[in-house]
Amino acid sequence: MDDQGYLYVSNYEKHEVRRYQSGDKNGTLVAGGNGRGNGLHQLNESSYLFVDREQNVYVSEQYNHRVMNWNKDTKEGIIVAGAQGRGNALTQLNQPMGLFVDTSGTLYVADTFNSRVMRWPQGAKQGTVIMGGKGWGSQADQFTGPIGLSFDQNRNLYVVDCENHRVQRFSPE
């Protein structure tokens, strides 16, 4: 939900994101809705969402291996991370899921099949690995399927590590 009380729903089967007001049955299309694909007007397996204060919607796409930003009232998204094919280079993602965007526009993404969390400053062409990236595992510096992340008011990062059945907390540097 955003600050105005709108609910955002990602429909990965329809490759779209809709915004709903209370009592609204159809919602308003805010991202995708043009079939499965990799065009800037399309999504492919949209999964996780983040909505900023201006109602811009960030969407992770598992099968396009990218994160898109759909500014409010636009018909096309902007690639903000990945979209360089599946891989583990700093310009690539491998089935990204959870994401968070801070007030400076920096994107944090759970790069699930690379078992890492990456940071992409606004406008960056490549990301930085901030956690994990050391192969699949259960050590404190490893993940096996990170799928969700969030920050608290003290800038602690929480990562849902699915296959290890845990949530890890990391303190700010």
pTM of the predicted structure, to 2 decimals: 0.93
| Alpha carbon separation from 9 to 19, 49, 155 (Å, rounded) | 7, 8, 26
Predicted local distance difference test score (pLDDT) of residue 172: 76
Contact 47, 41 (CB under 8 A): no
Predicted local distance difference test score (pLDDT) of residue 96: 97
Predicted local distance difference test score (pLDDT) of residue 47: 85
pLDDT-flagged residues of the chain (< 70): 173
Predicted local distance difference test score (pLDDT) of residue 141: 87
Round to whole Å and give the CA distance between 101 and 108: 6
Single-letter code of the amino acid located at 97: M
Residue 114 has phi, psi (to 5 degrees) of -95, 0
For the stretch 81-111, pLDDT in tens is 999 999 999 999 999 999 999 999 999 999 9
CB within 8 A of 154, min separation 6: which ones? 172
Contact 109, 67 (CB under 8 A): yes
Q: Which CATH superfamily is domain 7-170 in?
A: TolB, C-terminal domain (2.120.10.30)
Predicted local distance difference test score (pLDDT) of residue 173: 67
For the stretch 55-66, pLDDT in tens is 999 999 999 999
User: 108 - beta bridge partners?
Assistant: 100, 119
